[in-house]
Amino acid sequence: SVPFLIRLFPVLLTKFVYLNFLAFPFFVDFRQPELLVNNTINLYLTTEPGVTVGIWHTVPSSRGAEAKGKDQRWYEEALADDHPVIIYLHGNGGTR
């Protein structure tokens, strides 16, 4: 019956292949990354009208002591200094 259902509803195939309806780990608030990862804050970037992307900014552990207790402004200024920026693009599951 599964092949028949996939033939009738091809969108089911993409759901089962990519599993993008699952959010793992379960019951995690991704708006508070500092609970999961040290030296990290949550930011939002508007890419185009009506599209907002949530991002995490993590400073290297070598700047960890300097980052403790700092606000969003400090992290934004840290993006503008001479240190390299690594962008990690996660999967399509709606998680970070």
Report domain extents, the chain: 23-79
Give 28-45 as a DSSP string. Answer: --TT-GGGTSTTEEEEEE
Q: Which residues touch 69 (CB under 8 Å, ≥6 apart)?
A: none
Assessment of whether the complete model's pTM goes beyond 0.75: no
pLDDT at 62: 85
pLDDT at 91: 62
pLDDT at 93: 57
Mean pLDDT by 10 residues, the chain (96 residues): 82 78 72 83 88 86 87 87 80 59
Give the residue carrying structure tokens 């708006």: 31
Peptide bond before residue 25 is cis, with ω within 30 degrees of 0: yes
Distance CA 54, CA 44 (A): 4
